[in-house]
Structure 1
Amino acid sequence: MPMDAHDIEQMIKAAIPDAQVTIRDLAGDGDHYAATVISEAFRGKSRVQQHQLVYQSLRGQMGDVLHALALQTGVPDPR
C-alpha cells in the first residue's frame, strides 16, 4: 500500500517538531517522493547526519511502504 504525503509530513514533524516540510509526489504513485526539510535541529550537523534524522523519523518505512525519497535538508535562514 502506498504511503500518503501527509503521513510522511506528520511522521517527520512528530520527530522534528520545528521542521518546515515540503513533500512532492514525483511519480503520482505514492511510492516516489521528494522532501525538503528545514529545521534548527540540523544546525551543526553534517548533511549525512541531517538525512539520518529524517530517515529515523520515518520509523522503518523507507524501502518498505515508502520506496524512494529524494531528500534535501537545511537550517532556517537567519532573519
Structure 2
Amino acid sequence: MISPEQVQTMIQERLSNAEVKVVGDGQHFEAIIISPDFVGKTRVKQHQIVYGALQSELASETIHALSLKTYTPEAWQANGQTV
C-alpha cells in the first residue's frame, strides 16, 4: 500500500515548483497539481506528465485509480482557488 504523501512526493520530484495535494485510501487517489511545467500544454499532455511520474506504481497496480486535476499557476489563480 502507498500513502497519499508518497504519491505527492513522487509527483513533486518530477515537476519543478509544483504545488501538489493528494488524498486517497492507499489504492485510489485524487490529486490537484499546479505547475508552471503545464504552461502551453494540453490537459492530456499535463496528465501524461503526471502519469509518467507514477509509471511504475500504476503499472504494478500499487495505485489502482488516480483522478487528476491539473492547472497552470495562472489558471489556478483565475479560478480563485487555494490548495
Report the TM-score range of the alignment, normalised by the length of the smaller protein. Answer: 0.7 to 0.9
**Which residue number corresponds to residue 35 of structure 2?**
39
- SS of the counterpart of 1:61? helix
- SS of the counterpart of 2:55? coil
Distance 1:65 1:10 in 2: 15
Structure 1: any 5+ residue segments left out of the alignment? none
Shift of residue 62, structure 1, vs aligned partner: 1.3
Distance 2:12 2:64 in 1: 20
TM-score, reference length from structure 2: 0.82
Structure 2: any 5+ residue segments left out of the alignment? 79-83
Higher fraction of helix: 2
* 57-66 or 5-14: bigger deviation: 57-66
Shift of residue 59, structure 1, vs aligned partner: 3.0
Moved over 4 A (4+): none
Distance 2:22 2:30 in 1: 6
